[in-house]
Amino acid sequence: MDSFNGISVFVQAVEAGSFARAAERMHLSRSAVGKGIARLEERLGVRLFHRTTRSQSLTDEGQAYYERCLRALAELESGEALLGDGKREPSGRVKLSMPVLFGRICVAPLLVELARRHPQLEIAASFSDRRVDLVDEGVDLVLRSGDMHDSGGLAARKLGVQTLMLCASPAYLAQHGQPQRLDDLARHHAILYGRGARDDGWQLRDPQGRLREAPVLSRLRFDDLEAIAAAAVAGAGLARLPCWLIAAHVKSGRLVKVMEEESYVAIDMHLAWTPMRHMPHRLRTVIDELAKELPPLLGVGVMENAGPGC
């Protein structure tokens, strides 16, 4: 533990702005702080401060060392907090934002069960398909699909991949045939998702695993996934929908899988939050619960145990 000697004194000296103020904060003498810094500099073999009779400032080496000390101390604090968290119930308010349909069908039941198990936990869920600003709107956690390259500096945890399955009703396939390859889709009716003037076409993978734009034709376009599922059940055409939405329809036989699973596209699903030095126990509890329970609901495997909804 000798290697940690002087680190807390050093950090306090930097943040206080002077040895004298650091000594006051730590209830030490100014001489004790100065000697602690001197011993640390001697052990490291570098000068950490530029010092004059009127001011002090960090050297380049001191600045680099200070940044690493902060990370090390943060890890130690998080470790101690984690041990303490394991001994107590999560409590307080957690505000989440999530896509409307996915949140209502898959996430809300998990939150209800979580609140039942933890009576001191208060959960406020907001259902919205728009992009939420966590800081401006006071949101703790947000569920987002797709990559996180444009996340704006948010911390994130990948929950799994949301599989988009191609499906149709047995009656439709009996009349129009079962497509086997991507090129076969050009002879079928597609029910597309779209908003405004934009249609979201279908991307599927060819036998070599390459993404291709599917050659689909459509006379039906809805901006609601449940409406698309209902149209597919009614025999209006092929639909590409997330497995968690159509699991019950597939299990009941109202919809059947079209083409091989290797052609389906999967979209990453993340839980994101504003970076923080120490994550409160209540947030960690919600994140861990969703990370445990949501992944099995996202992929094709959900069809095997599907009940109502997810």
| Mean pLDDT (whole number) for 126-137 | 85
Residue 262 in any domain: the answer is yes
- Look at residue 297 in the predicted model and tell me its pLDDT: 83
Q: How many CB atoms are closer than 10 A to CB 198? A: 9
Q: Residue range 13-37: average pLDDT?
A: 86
**Which two three-digit tokens encode residue 165?**
């399955």
Q: How far apart are CA 211 and CA 231, in angstroms?
A: 26
pLDDT higher than 60, residue 307 = no
* C-alpha–C-alpha distance, residues 76 and 79, integer Å: 5
Distance CA 39, CA 275 (A): 34
Q: What is the pLDDT of residue 130?
A: 87
The sign of the torsion formed by the CA atoms of 154, 159, 163, 169 equals negative
Same-domain pairing of 152 and 178: no
**How many domains in the chain?**
3
Q: What integer pLDDT is reported at residue 202 of this predicted model?
A: 87
pLDDT at 226 over 60: yes
* DSSP code at position 294: S
Supply 1's token pair: 């533990």
Q: What is the CATH number of the domain that holds 253?
A: 3.40.190.10
- Picking from 55, 85, 115, the residue at the C-terminal end of a domain is 85
Whether 167 and 262 share a structural domain: yes
**Quick one: pLDDT at residue 303?**
60
Q: What is the mean pLDDT of the chain?
A: 85
37 membership: H or E segment, kind and range? helix 30-44
Q: What is the pLDDT of residue 143?
A: 93
Please tell me whether residues 228 and 202 are part of one structural domain: yes
CA atoms within 13 A on the CB side of 7: 16
To which H or E segment does residue 270 belong?
Answer: strand 265-273
The answer to whether residue 178 is domain-embedded is yes
Q: Tell me, yes or no, whether 151 and 170 share the same domain.
A: no
At 198 the pLDDT is 58
CATH of the domain at 45: 1.10.10.10
Same structural domain for residues 49 and 114? Answer: no
pLDDT at position 145 is 85
* Residues 198 and 214: beta-carbon distance below 8 Å: no
CB contact set of 264 (below 8 Å; sequence gap of 6+): 163, 164, 165, 166, 204, 205, 300
In a domain, 307, yes or no: no
Domain-embedded: residue 227: yes
Look at residues 85, 101, 118 and tell me which one is the last residue of a structural domain.
85
In this prediction the pTM is 0.65
162: burial class by Cβ within 10 Å (0-12, 13-18, 19+)? Answer: buried
Residue keyed to tokens 């939050």 = 273
Q: Which of 70, 85, 100 is the last residue of a domain?
A: 85
Q: Is the pLDDT of residue 309 over 50?
A: no
Residue-wise pLDDT tens digits, 159-169:
888 889 999 99
Per-residue pLDDT band at 28 (split at 50, 70, 90): confident
Q: Residue 126: is its pLDDT beyond 90?
A: yes
pLDDT digits (tens, 9 = 90+) for 41-66: 988 899 999 887 777 889 999 899 98
Same domain? For 219 and 154 the reply is: no
Task: Report pLDDT for 310.
Answer: 41
What pLDDT is recorded for position 77?
66
Task: Indicate if the pLDDT at residue 151 is higher than 80.
Answer: no
Domain limits for position 285: 92-158+269-296
Q: Bridge partners of 242?
A: 164
Are 249 and 102 contained in the same domain?
no
With cut-offs at 50, 70 and 90, classify the pLDDT of residue 225: very high
